[in-house]
Amino acid sequence: MKRTTANRHSRREQRRLDRIVCDVFGITLRELHWNTTLRTITDARLTAMYLQKELLRLSHPVIARYFNKKAHATSINAHKTISGLVATDPLFGEKVSKCKRYYQEYTPCRTKQRYNLHYLITRDGIKVSGPEKTIYIPASKQLVLEGTLKDRIERLANNHHYSLQLTID
């Protein structure tokens, strides 16, 4: 059976939402799809199901299949549960709204690799301008650049010819 482009597109969006939920909830993609009852992982998985229904407008059976669940009732229950938690728990509601905001801010540039670097660097508070090909690093953050953030900035500078600009806070 041949997949349509709509299925591939929605699958890509589902994976994008998964990555955002994992970032906000502090878990890995593998944990998100585990069949476990740990509260932190379950909350993240239910939130991913809820957001797929709310933002992507996917059907409950499609969402359930994506998470390897047998019945679409799991997705329906996730939607009801997260709707209730958002209404009653302000901290949880903030996490869900942060996921929505990150998803709506996720607008790809010409090349996916370059855009993903933009997204990951700006998430850490550093401004990146795609049209100008410039990375604006605040002076307060310059000395603490290390690890993956430093690697990402170096990759944009070296591979995509971005210039670095130091800014005053």
Digit-coded pLDDT (tens) for 35-54: 888 999 999 999 999 999 99
Alpha helices in 26-106 (DSSP H): 29-32, 39-56, 60-66, 73-88, 90-105
Question: Could you tell me which of 14, 8, 4, 39 has the C-alpha nearest to residue 103?
Answer: 14
pLDDT score recorded for residue 77: 92
> Tokens 């996921």 label which residue?
99
The model's pLDDT over 100-158, given as tens digits with 9 standing for 90+, comes to: 988 887 765 444 555 677 777 887 778 888 778 888 888 877 777 788 788 888 888 88
Q: Is 144 helix (H, G, I), strand (E, B) or coil?
A: coil
Block residue for tokens 């090909």: 133
Element (H, E) at 6: helix 5-25
Decide if pLDDT at 8 tops 70: no
pLDDT in tens, 56-94: 899 999 999 999 888 889 899 999 999 999 999 999 999
Reported as a single tens digit per residue, the pLDDT across 90-115 is 999 999 999 998 888 776 544 455 56
- Residue 36: predicted pLDDT: 85
pLDDT of residue 80: 94
Give the whole-angstrom CA distance, residue 7 versus residue 112.
Answer: 19
Please, what are the domains in the chain? Answer: 5-105 (1.10.1750.10), 112-167 (no CATH)
pLDDT recorded at residue 169: 66
63 within 8 A of 47, measured Cβ to Cβ? no
Distance CA 78, CA 3 (A): 27
Q: What is the pLDDT of residue 68?
A: 87
- 153 vs 159: CA distance, rounded Å: 10
